Amino acid sequence: MSEETKNFNEEQEVLKNANVAPEQFDWDSFESGLDAEDRKEKSELEKMYDTSLQELDENQVFKGRVVRLTDKEAIVDINFKSEGVISLNEFRYNPSLKEGDEVEVMVAQREDKTGQLQLSHRKARMLKAWDRVNELHETGEIVEGFVKSRTKGGMIVDVFGIEAFLPGSQIDVKPIRDYDQFVGKTMEFKIVKINHEFKNVVVSHKALIEADIEDQKKEIIGQLEKGQVLEGVVKNITSYGVFIDLGGVDGLIHITDLSWSRINHPSEVVQLDQKVNVVILDFDDQKSRIQLGMKQLEPHPWEALDANLQVGDKIKGKVVVLADYGAFVEVAPGVEGLIHVSEMSWSTHLRSAQDFVKIGDEVECVVLTLDKEERKMSLGMKQLTPDPWTDITAKYPVGSQHKGTVRNFTNFGVFLELEAGVDGLIYISDLSWTKKIKHPSEFCSVGDVLDVVVLELDTEARRLSLGHKQLSENPWDQYEAKYAEGTIHNGKIVQSFDKGATVKFEDEEVEGFCPARLLEKEDGSKLKKGDDANFKVIEFNKEFKRVVVSHTGTFREEENREETEKQVKSQNQNVEKSTLGDLDQLQELKRKMEEGN
């Protein structure tokens, strides 16, 4: 027999014994085992239970009381059938949470898998936080926030459960170098900006102290006077100077006003957060830009300079600044002198100071000029060695031969250094007897060593005129005889142009010029580039290396001679006739004079 059939038979037996029709039987009492009064009480309890469950709306904020704290959770009573659980992570902003504290909560989950009511304090805070943040933004009241972490450009702050942004510039009135020191701290803030669209909040701690600082600043500015000495704190260091906090007012010490000695960076003199005494040098009308100084609090180094120091004395110092025109040497702390590049070597060849010294070098020099009132000093290094021009006439007499190093070029010649301090010039015309040189760089290079002969010496002007070509014989002395006017030589036309042609002969250094009209050959045609022919020299100039030739003259020489002889004979006949005529006239005049007598 099945279970269902068995149950049905039992029900029928009950109905039969109770003499009740099936439709009139109280099935609820039969199933629950409760009488009518008990069932009524049960119904009321169920109604209350259902009502309480409906009141636990997940969007509603409840007040709860902390009844117990564990290592990880807070147990909160919200007058429900069971107590709720909240993770302690949601109370990090409130490390002083204790049993009995009242907190706002929302239902996160009515029952988890263990039947436990899950609550959220964070959701409850967030729901009401936005309204509170907007209200406090309007009233300007101070709020407390928990600095959660560092982020790009600032910090993340928990304000009523909302993550607000604290810009780095709004942490303090002073620049902050270590942001991590604020992480995990609870601080006071002022809400300065709200973005309703994205629900972003910006807070400031700096705004809370600016008002007090502004009052301080006005008081300090009102008392500022030039020459006043104040104590300040190094707030910021830059490459050009140091910013000093004078108690809410900032001033700048330019790098040149930090020390009488030259420095490369302000960090050589001061450090961040260091307390220093400063003097007010100047400020603008609104006193918003204050110029400060530190070196002015110490005596000027020139006042401590040795009173016996004078021109001509030898002195040692350290190179502190280099420029092309010279070097500044510190001979005492804060006292500098200039060695001009012209005073570094006896050489008149223009060079840079970097060729002689470098920064940090310890050098010995001679005081050339000294003006303590103007605080200026010029120094010299070359004066420590003998002047090579003192015995120049003995070392470099005219006609003597020497070797020199090419130092530089000009359009008109080459400068050679014979020794340190002794330079000479070879004019471009004295480089070669035969080469036509347009620029000296075609003949030699910087650094080359050339043999030279002294042509001229001017001790007063310190000038040496040198020659290179004079070391060998002038081949044009020989060419003058070989290519004398009237001589005929075989040559080749290497270049042709409108006015004539250039002719090369067996001596490569010798080039002749043949005018266009003298290029005509016997058959009436003209010579052209590449032709070999005989040429007659019609002009030779050794000084200017000028040779003029003619091809036509080589075969018309006889005709030219006959024509020349005719012209000479004709001229002689004219002279003879003129002379005889003069004699006849004289005879006639003599006769008439005699007759008159």
pLDDT (tens digit per residue) in 45-89 = 555 545 554 455 666 778 889 999 888 888 988 887 778 888 888
Mean pLDDT of the region 191-207: 86
Q: Residue 573: its pLDDT value, please?
A: 55
Query: With pLDDT > 70 as the criterion, what percentage of the chain qualifies?
Result: 80
Given a cut of 90, whether residue 307 has pLDDT beyond it is no
Given a cut of 50, whether residue 231 has pLDDT beyond it is yes
Spatial contact of 454 and 402, defined as CB atoms under 8 Å apart: yes
| Domain range 391-471, CATH class | mainly beta
Query: pTM higher than 0.85 for the full model?
Result: no
Q: Which amino acid is at 120?
A: S
Higher pLDDT, 29 or 193: 193
Mean pLDDT of the region 3-31: 52
Q: Residue 425: its pLDDT value, please?
A: 92
Q: Which residue, chain included where needed, has tokens 């005879």? A: 587
- CB-based burial label for 302 (10 Å; 0-12, 13-18, 19+): middle
Q: Which amino acid is at 207?
A: A
Given a cut of 80, whether residue 30 has pLDDT beyond it is no
164: left (phi over 0), alpha (psi -120 to 50) or beta: beta
Mean pLDDT of the region 496-519: 89
Averaged pLDDT of the chain: 80
Q: Residue 349: its pLDDT value, please?
A: 62
The confidence band for 41, taking pLDDT boundaries of 50, 70 and 90, is low
Specify the domain boundaries for CATH 2.40.50.140 within the chain. 61-125, 145-210, 224-293, 313-384, 391-471, 475-559
> Tens digits of per-residue pLDDT, 272-293?
989 999 999 988 766 668 899 9
Higher pLDDT, 143 or 125: 143
The confidence band for 136, taking pLDDT boundaries of 50, 70 and 90, is confident
Length of the chain: 597
Whether CATH 3.30.450.20 fits 313-384: no
Whether CATH 3.30.43.10 fits 475-559: no
Given a cut of 60, whether residue 12 has pLDDT beyond it is no
Q: Residue 433: its pLDDT value, please?
A: 77
Mean pLDDT of the region 443-466: 89
What whole-number distance in Å separates Cα of residue 566 and Cα of residue 355? 77
What whole-number distance in Å separates Cα of residue 345 and Cα of residue 388? 11
Given a cut of 70, whether residue 330 has pLDDT beyond it is yes
User: In the beta sheet, which residues pair with residue 468?
Assistant: none
Which homologous superfamily does the CATH classification assign to the domain defined by 145-210?
Nucleic acid-binding proteins (2.40.50.140)
Residue 476 DSSP one-character state: H
Instruction: Identify the architecture of domain 61-125 in CATH.
Output: Beta Barrel (2.40)
Q: Residue 132: its pLDDT value, please?
A: 83
Residues 6 or more apart whose Cβ sits within 8 Å of residue 125: 104, 160, 161
- Give the CA radius of gyration of the chain: 58
Instruction: Identify the architecture of domain 224-293 in CATH.
Output: Beta Barrel (2.40)
Phi and psi torsions of 7, nearest 5°: -65, -45
